[in-house]
Structure 1
Amino acid sequence: MSEFRAKDIGLRVQKKLASKISNKTVARTLLDDATSQILDNLFKLCKGVTGNKKESEKVIKNLIKVVVKVGILNKNDQFDHDEMVLAAKFQRKFQMTSMTIISFYQIDFSYDRSFITQSLLDMKAMLTKLVERHLTDKTLSRIEHVFTFFREPRFLDAVFARNSEHRDLLGKITKDLNTILEASEDDAS
């Protein structure tokens, strides 16, 4: 019989709560303003591209659940040394992918679907490896769902097309990405 530990119980409760709190109002209380704003704009972008409100909500809810759970694991020092190395690698890949998305927005004819698709595949693999020891198969399927949605060729092409009707939203998202990147640079210093 394993020993009772309040910290373990607390962590399980936090993870359980994280799976219950996927609406945007609750997410705003747990996430900073830039992250909340980017999630709101991603929802609008997903809905605008797909025309499917229900699927767009599901993608963003899954994304919120994953972000919150990873944050809880990190806050509670649940990652071992190798996982922390992987988390740092994931963070660098996220930053590089974010900068690439920003450049796709700012520089005409720079969009490269295969590059962004591969970046998203790499990030999905890293994130899955990072959390597979800690989270359920249901959460792993949420990760799969989010990354599959965002690397869908029709979605990417619609977002990054030269005269995309989604350009204004993409501009807001890139502004938010810049804010997040600047904050992570400040945290690193």
Structure 2
Amino acid sequence: MDAFSSKDLALRAQKKILSSMATKSSVQMFIDDTTSEILDELYRVSKEYSGSRSEAQKVIKDLVKIAVKIGLLFRNNRFSTEELGVATDFKKKLHQGAMTAISFHEVDFTFDKTVMADLLTGCRDLLLRLVNSHLTPKSHGRISHVFNHYADPELLTKLYEPGGAFAPNLAKICKGLDKMIEDGTI
């Protein structure tokens, strides 16, 4: 039996095209201004922390590719009922992570790198479960790369260091997260 499906072929082509065009200008078509500002700050933090412009660009590019591909899968109703349950769990965990990040920023001396790292790795694991049968191992690697990068306890410690070099970046990230929470985006 021939398993050809033009709809599947079109979806694979869209994912491939979107994957190859994840540049700053094309991202504006898929990502709102608040998210773009958060991504810019995450890029600056990654660049400064890693000391590598190319590594920072790769992390953000991986993040954008994954977000766009998952959005495409949702738009094309590719997730089963069980997977939609995992997506709901992911959104709740992401919301919890955003609330925790903001709280750690607003309340002095409450930051706990283990809590933040655990929230981020929990998000990673849920996202990997969600896309397990939909995306390639290369995309799974991108998900791990992004979440492992930002869940690095040393990076988190530097990010939340009171009066540290990343304080302005963290303030902008938290302001954006707060807006996304208010808008119901996360």
TM range (shorter): over 0.9
Post-superposition Cα deviations, 1:141-177, rounded to whole Å, max 9, x if no partner, equal: 0011111111112111110111211111111111111
- 1:183 match: 183
Per-residue deviation at 1:3?
Answer: 4.6
1:1-40 correspondence runs (5 A): 1-40=1-40
Distance in 2 (alpha carbons) for counterparts of 1:149 and 1:112: 17
- 2:114 match: 114
Distance in 1 (alpha carbons) for counterparts of 2:117 and 2:3: 45
Q: The residue matched to 1:29 in structure 2 has which SS?
A: coil
The reply to whether residue 131 of structure 1 matches residue 131 of structure 2 is yes
Q: The residue matched to 2:77 in structure 1 has which SS?
A: coil
- For residue 83 of structure 1, what is the amino acid of its counterpart? E
Distance in 1 (alpha carbons) for counterparts of 2:2 and 2:135: 20
Q: The residue matched to 1:178 in structure 2 has which SS?
A: helix
Per-residue deviation at 1:26?
Answer: 0.8
TM-score by length of 1: 0.94
Per-residue deviation at 1:69?
Answer: 0.5
Q: When the two structures are aligned, how many residues end up with a matched partner?
A: 186
Q: The residue matched to 2:19 in structure 1 has which SS?
A: helix
Which ranges of structure 2 fall in alignment gaps of 5 or more residues?
none
Distance in 2 (alpha carbons) for counterparts of 1:21 and 1:59: 15
Moved runs in structure 1, 4+ residues, more than 6 A?
none
| Greater mean alpha carbon deviation, residues 119-128 or residues 13-22 | 13-22
Are the equivalent residues in 2 in contact too, given 1:49–1:159 (CA < 8 A)? no
1:7-156 correspondence runs (5 A): 7-156=7-156
Per-residue deviation at 1:6?
Answer: 2.8
Distance in 2 (alpha carbons) for counterparts of 1:92 and 1:24: 28
Distance in 1 (alpha carbons) for counterparts of 2:17 and 2:34: 22
Post-superposition Cα deviations, 1:113-150, rounded to whole Å, max 9, x if no partner, equal: 11111111111110000001000000000011111111
- Identity among equivalent pairs (%): 36
Are the equivalent residues in 2 in contact too, given 1:83–1:130 (CA < 8 A)? yes
TM-score by length of 2: 0.95
Are the equivalent residues in 1 in contact too, given 2:114–2:153 (CA < 8 A)? no
Which ranges of structure 1 fall in alignment gaps of 5 or more residues?
none
Per-residue deviation at 1:48?
Answer: 2.1
CA RMSD, aligned part only? 1.4
Are the equivalent residues in 2 in contact too, given 1:94–1:123 (CA < 8 A)? yes
- For residue 72 of structure 2, what is the amino acid of its counterpart? I
Distance in 1 (alpha carbons) for counterparts of 2:59 and 2:30: 18
Are the equivalent residues in 1 in contact too, given 2:120–2:147 (CA < 8 A)? yes
